[in-house]
Structure 1
Amino acid sequence: MATEKLYYQDQYIRNFTTKVQKLDIDESGRTYAVLNETAFYPTGGGQPHDTGKLNDVTVYDVEEVEGEIRHYIEGPMEIGTECVGQLDWERRFDHMQQHAGQHILSAAFEDTYGYKTVSFHLGKETCSIDLEVEELTDGVSFDVEKIANNIILENRPIEAKWVTEHELANYSLRKKLSVSDNIRLVIIPDFDYNGCGGTHPNSTGQVNAIKILHWEKQKKNIRVFFVSGNRMIKQLHEKQHVIGGLTSLLSAPQEQLVRATGKVLQQTKHLEKTVDELKLALIKYEAKELIDGTGLAPGRKTMKVIFKNRPMKELQLLAKSIMKETSSTLIVLLSENESKFQLVCARTDDLDMNMNQLIKQVLPMINGKGGGNNQVAQGGGDTILPAEQLMKALERFIES
């Protein structure tokens, strides 16, 4: 196909002349044009599509569907129109750097440690490969990254070659091909031989550099995240900006940031523990004040309190503190938090009443959910009625 020849064999084409052969709308209502020749790369092989313009009309997506290259456009066009195609070159060259970087990195992993690449993803900010291995160490990562960057420094040629199935015997391919015709190889001599339809620069030197960022476990594989070329410079700039900010905030040089951050985290944990202890002391004091202020008489009694913006954890701690300081007491604590109710029902050990059953009688009134056990239950719901009305409903259920 003419389209294959143009966008595959001339990697560095930026502008080209073409003609609109077909205009149509796909099943999702998007308008697309099919051209007699194109330099726009369609999504495939782990690589995203090109973008750009046809005359002044924006091309925002490119896909290969049923053997035709569809250019999804944002403006009007007519069949037979001769137009100039213009690629977004910054995007195209970025994809070329990332894709070639993946070839180099995958070859370095396999040649040095036997770790095969089973998939590749070229993302908007970072790229990733999945390695057929269950773990990866810092030493292996550093070693492979160094080998990959040495290949880049050597500025080896990157060749694209169309071959027949019979000619494949002349090449040591890294993986089995999925096609038997229109076979295109991407070759870094004496290093990597791959069947690939993506776009790449003419030499490894144009990849500029590769940096492994981090990795994570993915089922039985390891997913390695990396960047190449201009993305690496961008990552370095962003990280340096963050490090500069941390250096200023922590009053520590870059090489001491980990230690300084660890010290701050330890101090924060200590302060959080102190705050929690003080909160608990205040809640115990509040519980005593509520008991004294309510003037609970001997015999079974009910303590009902409505709060504003009290979190569930505080209501639970307060209920437990009251339970420890009194007897024969049923406790109902209700908090109205913006558009939500928080509710805790509890009783002392010497009462025989099921709090789980009690709370579940009122939760439907507020579209609520919750539950608990015989002694303590909690839940929440929507503030679709006044707090006082909800409390009165609870009183009725308690007295019934």
Structure 2
Amino acid sequence: MGKKIYYQDAYINSFTAQVVDQGKDRDGNYYIVLDQTAFYPTGGGQPHDIGTIENIKVLNVEETAGEVRHYLESEVHAESSPVYGVIDWERRFDHMQQHAGQHILSAAFEQIYGYKTIGFHLGNETLTIDLETVNLLESEALKVEELANQIILENRPIETKWVTEDELGNYNLRKETKVKEDIRLVIIPNFDYNGCGGTHPKTTGEVQTIKIINWERQKKKVRVQFVCGNRILKQFHKKNKVLMELTKLLNAPENDMQEVVTRLLENSKAMEKELEQSVETLLHYEAKSLLEKGKSENRIVSGVFQNRTIQELQKIARIIIAEDEETFVLFVSQNEDKLQLVCARGPAENVSMKKVIGNALSIINGKGGGSDAFAQGGGEALISGEQMLQHLLELVQ
């Protein structure tokens, strides 16, 4: 592990190293391998470091077959050896805070309620752990959060130790280690003992604080979302900015905001209902007007519409055939490069609307369905709406 500087000291953020190998991978991405590195590769739920090598951006770091590859924005000049690497310290320390915070929170859940952590993800803005339980109460989350922050406040040391498989029996591990050699333990004395290959601060105090944001049930587990350290300030700043904007928009103080929003939502629902009723009334008027016109045209109500929804045309057609049992309804709607059709008949007629619309849809590569009394469908606008309506009239007549 001597080649991995991040295991010697996670606080080292710059270093020099000899170039061992460099080239391109199968996808054409430049990479370089060094005889030692402070760049942490993706692993154990923790994302990789970024930074620069010889002022060239390091975009990704991966370990394969014991070799740490640094993927670069461009190639390092062959004569550049030794090379100088610099870690993006803000990102590294953020990962150290979050990863240590995860250890503390997971240990707190297990210590108080016996909820084991069976999954962990460190994202760009928040973290999640998956708990081996089907339910989590708010009172439980608050109690665990309180213990986790007490451990942080006590500023306990966070120690790392390399042990053999035989030595594992000396420690009360929170979970079984996945590796059988080169085993690295991360220890918070008298609180948490866990096998881990990530980077961590030297004390729990550097985590600063932990805040559980939310949780949700997923099949037979509960996923808990939380943040630690500097991320809490960023989250607070973001949420506070939104809150300030809302207080201006709603013209209400923060404490009254819930009541104001509830009232707005209730008013919005009432207005939506009124609007639906108004639309329904207008559709009835439109249907009666079309029916009066259709009575003088062989009892066929027909029309070509622009950008009307098929749902509206279906409603109008149903109103018409309910009013007059001897009426046919043939509607075509042109919607950009689509044609939509509605064909209906009253119960006194016996022409199959399903067959009529099937014939019409075949010439516009369309799909649809329905019954002998009422059918609908749509397809490509290979002919005009007027041409399609004329074709439907011929089929019915």
Shorter-chain TM-score tier: over 0.9
Comparing 265-274 and 255-264, the one that deviates more: 255-264
Q: Which segment is superposed worse, 195-204 or 245-254? A: 245-254
Q: Distance in 2 between matches of 1:295 and 1:350?
A: 15
Report Cα offsets for 1:197-227 as digits up to 9, x if no partner: 0011111111111111111122211111111
| Correspondence for 1:326 | 324
Partner of 1:48, secondary structure, is coil
C-alpha distance 352-294 of structure 1, shift in aligned 2 (>3 A) = closer
What secondary structure does 1:197 align onto? coil
Secondary structure at the aligned position of 1:145 is classed as helix
What secondary structure does 1:124 align onto? Answer: coil
Describe how 1:313-392 pairs up with structure 2 within 5 A.
313-392=311-390
Task: Map 1:171-250 to 2 at 5 A.
Answer: 171-250=171-250
The answer to whether the Cα contact below 8 Å between 1:135 and 1:222 also exists between their aligned partners in 2 is: yes
Matched-pair contact (CA < 8 Å) for 1:62–1:71 = yes
Distance 2:241 2:231 in 1: 15
What is the CA distance between 1:250 and its match in structure 2? 2.5
From the superposition, tell whether residues 369 and 32 of structure 1 become closer, same or farther in structure 2 (CA, over 3 Å): same
**RMSD value, Cα:** 1.7
Counterpart Cα distance in 2 of 1:321 and 1:217: 46
Is residue 20–residue 78 contact of structure 1 (8 Å, CA) maintained in 2? no
Task: Name the residue aligned to 1:63.
Answer: 62
3-state DSSP of counterpart to 1:342: strand
- Comparing 30-39 and 254-263, the one that deviates more: 254-263
Matched, 1:113 2:113: yes
Measure the CA separation in 1 of the matches of 2:231 and 2:24: 35
Counterpart residue type for residue 169 of structure 2: A
Asked if the contact 2:294–2:302 (Cα under 8 Å) also holds between the matched residues in 1, the reply is no
User: Is the CA contact (8 Å cut-off) linking 1:96 and 1:200 kept in structure 2?
Assistant: yes
Q: 1: distance between equivalents of 2:45 and 2:364?
A: 50
Structure-to-structure mapping, 1:40-119, within 5 angstroms: 40-79=39-78, 81-119=81-119
1:306 aligns with 304
CA gap 1:303/1:135 in 2 versus in 1, 3 angstroms: same
- TM-score w.r.t. the length of structure 1 is 0.94
Hey, what does 1:269 align to over in structure 2? 269
Which whole-Å CA distance do the structure 2 matches of 1:127 and 1:384 have between them? 53
Query: Which residue number in structure 2 is paired with residue 398 of structure 1?
Result: 396
Letter in 2 for 1:135: N
Secondary structure of the corresponding residue to residue 333 of structure 1: strand
Q: Is contact 1:368-1:379 (8 Å) kept?
A: yes
1:261-315 per-position Cα deviation (integer Å, ceiling 9, x unaligned):
2221111111111110110001000111112233435xx6322211111122211
* 1:256 is the counterpart of 2:256: yes
Give 1:385 deviation, angstroms.
2.8
Tell me if 1:19 matches 2:18: yes
Mean CA deviation greater in 382-391 or 160-169: 382-391
Structure 2 CA distance for aligned equivalents of residues 361 and 2 of structure 1: 78
User: C-alpha separation between the residues in 2 aligned to 1:48 and 1:166?
Assistant: 30
Kindly tell me: are residues 398 and 294 of structure 1, through their superposed partners in 2, closer, same or farther at Cα, counting changes over 3 Å? closer
Q: In terms of mean alpha carbon deviation, does 354-363 or 231-240 score higher?
A: 354-363
> How far has the Cα of 1:78 moved from its partner?
4.3
1:397 partner amino acid: L
Query: Matches of 1:202 and 1:379 in 2, distance apart?
Result: 68
Which secondary structure does the structure 2 equivalent of 1:49 belong to? Answer: coil
Contact in 1 for aligned 2:351/2:396 (Cα 8 Å): no
Question: Structure 1 residue 79: deviation in Å?
Answer: 5.0
Aligned-pair CA distance for 1:85: 0.6
Which residue of structure 2 aligns with residue 7 of structure 1?
6
Contact in 2 for aligned 1:21/1:79 (Cα 8 Å): no
Is 1:30 matched with 2:15? no
- Residue aligned with 1:306, SS: strand
Assess if the C-alpha contact under 8 Å between 1:23 and 1:78 holds in 2: no
More displaced, 252-261 or 159-168?
252-261
**Contact 1:18–1:35, Cα closer than 8 Å, also in 2:** yes
Tell me, yes or no, if the aligned pair for 1:54 and 1:83 is still in contact at 8 Å.
yes
Task: Name the CA shift for 1:61/1:270 in 2 (closer, same or farther; >3 Å).
Answer: same
CA contact (8 A) 2:24 2:30 kept: yes
Q: Does the aligned pair in 2 maintain the 1:22–1:34 contact within 8 Å? A: yes
Contact 2:294–2:300 under 8 Å retained in 1: no
For 2:151, the equivalent position in structure 1 comes to: 151
Over 3 Å counting, the alpha-carbon distance change for 1:384 and 1:124 in structure 2 is farther
Once the two structures are TM-superposed, the CA of residue 396 in structure 1 deviates from its matched residue by 3.7
Higher mean C-alpha deviation, range 350-359 or range 319-328: 350-359
Aligned length: 396
Moved more, 173-182 or 288-297: 288-297
Given that 2:332 and 2:340 are in contact with CA atoms closer than 8 Å, whether structure 1 keeps it comes out as yes
User: Could you tell me how far 1:375 is from its partner in structure 2?
Assistant: 2.1
Q: Structure 2 length as normaliser, TM-score?
A: 0.95
For 2:362 and 2:17, locate their aligned partners in 1 and report how far apart those are by CA, in whole Å: 67
Q: Is the 8 A contact 2:59 2:73 kept in 1?
A: yes
